[in-house]
Amino acid sequence: MYNISSLVGVSAFAVSKWERELCYPDIFLLSDISNIIGVSIDELMGKSVRSTQ
């Protein structure tokens, strides 16, 4: 499991709010977050699904 909060410099409380969809990360963090977890920004935002082929 990733500790996104320390890797992108936000509080664990902020990440918890993202996970519960109470708010969303700053747009400037999306690139870092997507790189850390290994998905595209589109996948991160739910706009596309990674192919399993």
Helical (H) or strand (E) element with 44:
helix 41-44
Residues, the chain: 53
Q: 51 lies in a domain?
A: no
Per-residue pLDDT of the chain (53 residues; tens, 9 = 90+): 678 889 999 999 999 999 899 999 999 999 999 999 999 999 988 887 766 65
Distance CA 7, CA 4 (A): 5
pLDDT in the model for residue 4: 84
Residue 28 maps to a domain: yes
Residue 53 covered by a domain? no
The domain of 19 spans 4-44
**Cα 2 from Cα 4, distance rounded (Å):** 6
pLDDT of residue 23: 94
Whether 4 and 15 have beta carbons less than 8 Å apart is answered as yes
